[in-house]
């Protein structure tokens, strides 16, 4: 499971979506669906501008900016939901 968070300029961090996908794929899906594209079988592996955290493996980010054609400036983050992971002993 992956949780998608949004931090708009001057706003508060919001939990906006959950996906049963790994974080990288979930972020692609969220971006494409924000663009109105629901043809999931055609989604690319990565979208230009996505980046993985240098300090936390499998944490992905993307900047929505008005200059890229989005409605607002915001940082979108995709984090693995560790609460659903169970350690096997």
pLDDT digits (tens, 9 = 90+) for 62-77: 998 876 777 789 999 9
Residue 51: phi and psi, rounded to 5, are -145, 145
Domain limits for position 68:
2-84
27, 79 contact by CB (below 8 A):
no
Judge whether 42 lies within some domain. Answer: yes
Judge whether 35 lies within some domain. Answer: yes
Judge whether 89 lies within some domain. Answer: no
Of 36, 38, 8, 25, nearest to 80 (Cα)?
25
pLDDT in tens, 21-31: 999 999 999 99
Number of domains in the chain: 1
Alpha-carbon distance of 33 to 43, in angstroms, equals 10
């Amino acid at each position: 499971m992956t949780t998608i968070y949004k931090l708009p300029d001057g706003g508060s961090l919001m939990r906006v979506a959950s996906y049963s996908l790994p974080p990288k794929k979930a972020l692609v899906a969220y971006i494409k669906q924000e663009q109105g594209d629901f043809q999931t079988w055609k989604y690319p592996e990565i979208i230009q501008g996505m980046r993985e955290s240098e300090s936390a493996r499998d944490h992905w980010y993307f900047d929505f900016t008005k200059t890229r054609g989005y409605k607002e400036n915001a940082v979108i983050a995709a984090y693995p939901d560790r609460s659903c992971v169970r350690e096997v002993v």
